[in-house]
Structure 1
């Protein structure tokens, strides 16, 4: 899951100390029901994994999902991977005493040597990749899972054609404003998403998961420009 050269802005953005310091509030204001998404993710994994599950979390910088999953499932241990060192430092601070059950690793999916994970999670991350790299990344995630292990992915995914993209992005910004974001910042975020994010349609996203080898892929979360799926290795 390595960004292309024209994605250098992404790693730079998540390496900026000011941006990292203010990261925790951002997802909650831009992603409807983020806490519920974390809770649902844990429940979907718990259906299939043992009490002492080993869970891979890709795009773990910031630590929000790691904290939620670790607090809810006391027997699970985690490997959290992210390319931005500053975001991993934030995750370490976020986790506090929960760090005892978490291994944080700087890098991408290709840098994860461990295999036979009981489950994997990738939240608010895959929309940064084009379709081919998304497919390759998901294949690499699947290769590191035990047979039948659950994988939960959630990211920006919404209709793109015939003016739908602009409409849904306006709703994305409107939700942020309704959640307390300054309108000028919400508009800046909308413009950045429109210009830089590689969002595709939910139908395309589900097809890529299936092409990567995941079975019984099902949509479980839909909130304005966001979608989440569960599938099995």
Structure 2
């Protein structure tokens, strides 16, 4: 197997090696668990902790969002969608271990395959967007999420976001490599990850992500998380009748 085949194999979410995803991802991303904790706290501030809510999780494989949010909010229900059967199996196992399965429905597929007649109170799409190739495809993903949200509902988005031509990119990558290696990630794993950027994944600069969010129908866009080249945003489905303050007062 040549180097290119190894890189492609590493990026396949249906490969057996994704079984180790949950054991290594927090070693690779500084503040990994903080991303989910902050998402929970912001969503809680928007929706309130006690009322029944329906949450859409796009990229639910692995289960971290559902385990974090579901564990803190037993009244909330979750619909998770992911194209990887293996990653969904991991999520299902974790959800069952936490005894959260009664409030969770998992779908193998993509967000645009979900019915449009059910609208959700909030959505997450964490560490997914950079795997979607092309601006049109990224825009369609965000639009498919917006189409399934109630007016004024929040979206929590996080992705690798960068301009690989900028000098700062090399500095960030050097520091990120140091972090991963110091946390026991093998050098060959780092090399596969570094080679995958722009090849098997498609990160775009933060300002472009924000423009895509606006084009998809979101407003009140705000950054809430940063870790090397990963940025997290909070946005709200735009509506002429709702805004953030009105939504908070409805709690």
Map 1:80-229 onto structure 2 (within 5 A): 80-96=80-96, 97-113=99-115, 114-129=117-132, 130-229=134-233
Is residue 56–residue 78 contact of structure 2 (8 Å, CA) maintained in 1?
A: yes
Question: Displacement of 1:32 after TM fit?
Answer: 1.4
Counterparts of 2:217 and 2:10, CA distance in 1: 28
Counterparts of 2:164 and 2:10, CA distance in 1: 26
Tell me the alpha carbon deviations over residues 9-51 of structure 1, each in whole angstroms, 9 at most, x when there is no partner.
Answer: 589711112x122110232122211111101111111122252
Counterparts of 2:9 and 2:155, CA distance in 1: 24
Is residue 11–residue 200 contact of structure 2 (8 Å, CA) maintained in 1?
A: no
Which structure 2 residue ranges, 5 or more long, are not aligned? Answer: 1-7, 238-251
Q: CA RMSD in A?
A: 1.8
Question: TM-score, with normalisation over the residues of structure 1?
Answer: 0.90
Change (3 A) 1:30 1:200: same
Tell me the alpha carbon deviations over residues 31-90 of structure 1, each in whole angstroms, 9 at most, x when there is no partner.
Answer: 211111101111111122252110000011111121111112121110000011111111
- Larger CA Rg, structure 1 vs 2: 2
Structure 2 counterpart SS, 1:122:
strand
Counterparts of 2:145 and 2:222, CA distance in 1: 17
Larger CA deviation: 32-41 vs 157-166: 157-166
Larger CA deviation: 189-198 vs 91-100: 189-198
Question: Displacement of 1:162 after TM fit?
Answer: 3.3
Is residue 82–residue 108 contact of structure 1 (8 Å, CA) maintained in 2?
A: yes
Question: TM-score, with normalisation over the residues of structure 2?
Answer: 0.84
Larger CA deviation: 114-123 vs 193-202: 193-202
Which structure 1 residue ranges, 5 or more long, are not aligned? Answer: 1-8
Tell me the alpha carbon deviations over residues 207-230 of structure 1, each in whole angstroms, 9 at most, x when there is no partner.
Answer: 111111101000011110100000
Change (3 A) 1:60 1:202: same
- 2:28 aligned with 1:30: yes
Change (3 A) 1:39 1:10: farther
Question: Displacement of 1:137 after TM fit?
Answer: 1.0
Change (3 A) 1:26 1:194: farther
Question: Displacement of 1:232 after TM fit?
Answer: 0.4
Counterparts of 2:200 and 2:129, CA distance in 1: 13
